[in-house]
Amino acid sequence: MSVHPKKLLLALGALVAFAIPAFAQTALTITCRCVAGGVNDAEVQWLQNYVIPNFEKAMADKGTPVKVTLNQFGGSDEALKQQYALDLSVKKGYDVMAFDGFWIPEFASGGLLKPLETVAGSAVTNWDGWSHISQGIQDIMAYDGQRYGIANGTDVRMIFYRKDIFQEAGVPNADSWQPTSWQDIVNTAEMIKKALPNSYPLQIDAGTNMGEATTLQGYYMLILGTGEQPFMNGKWVIRSQGILDTLNFYKKIYVDTKLGDQRVQLVKDGRNQSFANFRDGITSMLVESDWFYRSVTKPGSEFAVKNRDQVMGWAKMPAEKPGMGIRGQDFVTASGGTGWVLNPNTAHPAEAWDLLAFMNSKAARDDFETYQPTISARDDVPVPNNPFLTTTAKILLPLTVSRPNNDAYAKVSEQIQLMTENVVSGQMSPQQAMDAYAAAVTQIVGVQNTVDLLKSASN
């Protein structure tokens, strides 16, 4: 990875723009958790090779020249969120910022972000791109009925499995494996564990170190299969049979049977270790989003699976029992998404919006697909030559559920992670962990916003 002198100059430009935006008349800044040659490299390549030059040219042609500077942030998502919050709290920050959808409610309700229409006016309302983005996907970057940003795309979650390991262990139908209940998954895992005693066949994320992955890839994928969600009918569910079933499943896998690698849920770098386990065949079933396919196991990457197209398959996540899933479904999945927001404090709201709209034009999103195929937010941007994404999107998107658009969500999510950690570490029983969760969530959202399904059932 090399940094050109030009890049240093650009960075210097960012410094100037940050410190004295008033003098930098048409300088725009944009940032993401992305480093050339490092994390989210595709984003950097796309921005630097396509977006910035083409946008600058388009604006110059219009007679309103701009200079766009990309600030590459190399830290963790959590660290980026901290910097955003600090910057926005003093009315600073970059003009256009990469944002995870589930941060929006927290930032919007704190007054740190403003609706796009408030920032950039009617140009937003009149943007022709909205008609190509479904309401559900617009909602990823929305709060309280207002749009705060534009989503790049969305994702879906599933079980990835290793056909080669399945065959080795004698699992029937290794090429088209599809469990229909949690018990099916356990049976398969036990079969593999028996054949390969040193393996940990199943990975369902748990614990605080995995952060939001625990909530969405782990807990959600299970609790949806019990027909419940953490937030139902405007209230947070603090006690329920679904929570107990979910926690008991975690306990069975990580504490009772060791079908999953307990260590990985608890150590600091566990998520990457879980990827390494899958790459090495120690783990043969792993619940993840399509990101696992398009980025983590991509050929040439650190966790690339050899002969991926032959040995790696995917299956839908079953409900606890057929028909028991959310909305009576047999199979469940969950979706999130990331996108870009406008800084409400930008000195150039019109130009910043122009940039955001340009980044989400059909041409720009088409170009992004050449760097990294993804399920685009726009319905007119197909996934090129990628049967995996095309198929999973078609099958799973109709089944999907998104996280609640609620400002307490991020805090409750941390409590969910904590609750799973308490169980998989073996230091609490599912009942105790649920009680601790109930107390903590009640403290966060207030008792009037909670519901105890066990209590109302017995009454």
**Contact status: 447 vs another protein (CB under 8 A):** no
Nearest-approach distance from CB 231 to another protein, in angstroms: 16
Give the CB-side neighbour count of residue 173, counting CA atoms within 13 A: 8
In the structure encoding, which two tokens stand for residue 33, read together? 């958790």
Shortest Å distance, C-beta 120 to another protein: 22
CA angle 446, 448, 452 (to 5 degrees): 100
CA–CA distance, 32 with 77 (Å, rounded to integer): 10
Residue 76 interacts with another protein (CB under 8 A): yes or no: yes
Which of 152, 208, 246, 343 binds another protein (CB under 8 A)? It is 208
CA distance 331 to 348: 46
Candidate residues 23, 25, 38, 299; the one interacting with another protein per rule CB under 8 A: 38
* Burial (0-12, 13-18, 19+ Cβ within 10 Å), 398: exposed
Q: How far apart are CA 155 and CA 291, in angstroms?
A: 7
Q: Residue count at the site for another protein (CB under 8 A)? A: 69
- Tell me the closest approach of the beta carbon of residue 158 to another protein, in angstroms: 19
**Segment interacting with another protein (CB under 8 A) among 2-10, 116-124, 220-228, 318-326:** 2-10
The string of DSSP letters for 438-454 reads: HHHHHHHH-GGGEEEHH
Between residues 89 and 307, which has the closer beta carbon with respect to another protein? 89
State which of positions 324-383 bind another protein (CB under 8 A).
Answer: none
Query: 142 by DSSP, 3-state: which?
Result: strand
Paired with 376 in beta bridges are 153
Q: Which stretch binds another protein (CB under 8 A): 158-166, 174-182, 205-213, 223-231?
A: 205-213
Q: How far is the CB of 62 from another protein (least distance, A)?
A: 29
3-state SS assignment for residue 287: strand
In 277-396, which ranges are E strands? Answer: 285-289, 312-315, 317-318, 331-335, 338-342, 375-376
Interface with another protein includes 62 (CB under 8 A)? no
Nearer to another protein, 302 or 380 (CB): 302
Q: Does residue number 89 form part of the binding site for another protein (CB under 8 A)?
A: yes
Q: Report helix angle 409-424 to 241-251, nearest 10.
A: 40
- Residue whose CB is less far from another protein, 85 or 454: 85
Residue from the set 63, 145, 234, 268 that interacts with another protein by CB under 8 A: 268
Whole-number minimum distance, CB 251 to another protein, in Å? 14
The strand pairing partners of 29, in sequence order, are: 69
Judged by beta carbon, residue 151 or residue 266, the one nearer another protein is: 266
Strand ranges of the sheet holding 67-72, from the earlier edge strand across to the other edge: 67-72, 27-32, 96-100, 338-342, 149-151
**Quick one: 234 or 387, whose CB is closer to another protein?**
234
Given candidates 407, 450, 451, 454, which one binds another protein under the rule CB under 8 A? 407
**Amino acid identity, residue 321?**
K
Site for another protein in 269-308 (CB under 8 A): 269, 272, 275, 295-296, 301-303
Instruction: Name which of 96, 134, 146, 89 is nearest 112 in CA terms.
Output: 89
| Minimum distance from residue 422 beta carbon to another protein (Å) | 7
DSSP for 169-191, written as a single string: TT-TTGGG----SHHHHHHHHHH
> Which range binds another protein by CB under 8 A, 104-112, 176-184, 373-381, 390-398?
104-112
Give whichever of 186 and 238 is closer to another protein, judged by the CB atom: 238
Nearer to another protein, 264 or 401 (CB): 264
Among 136-144, 160-168, 307-315, 415-423, which window interacts with another protein (CB under 8 A)? 415-423
Decide if residue 408 touches another protein (CB under 8 A). Answer: yes
- Amino acid code (one letter) for 186: V
Task: State how far the Cα of 55 lies from the Cα of 64, in Å rounded to an integer.
Answer: 11
State in angstroms the smallest separation of the CB of 267 from another protein: 6
Comparing CA positions, the residue from 98, 147, 93 lying closest to residue 343 is 93
Give the residue carrying structure tokens 């009617």: 122
Minimum Å gap between C-beta 223 and another protein is 21
Residue 239, helix vs strand vs coil: strand
Report the C-alpha gap between 98 and 80 in whole angstroms: 10
Please give the residue ranges that form the binding site for another protein (CB under 8 A).
1-5, 7-8, 11-12, 14-15, 18-19, 35, 38-41, 71-72, 74-76, 78-79, 82-83, 85-87, 89-90, 92, 106-107, 109-112, 207-209, 263, 266-269, 272, 275, 295-296, 301-303, 407-408, 410-411, 414, 418, 421-422, 425, 427-428, 436, 439-440, 443
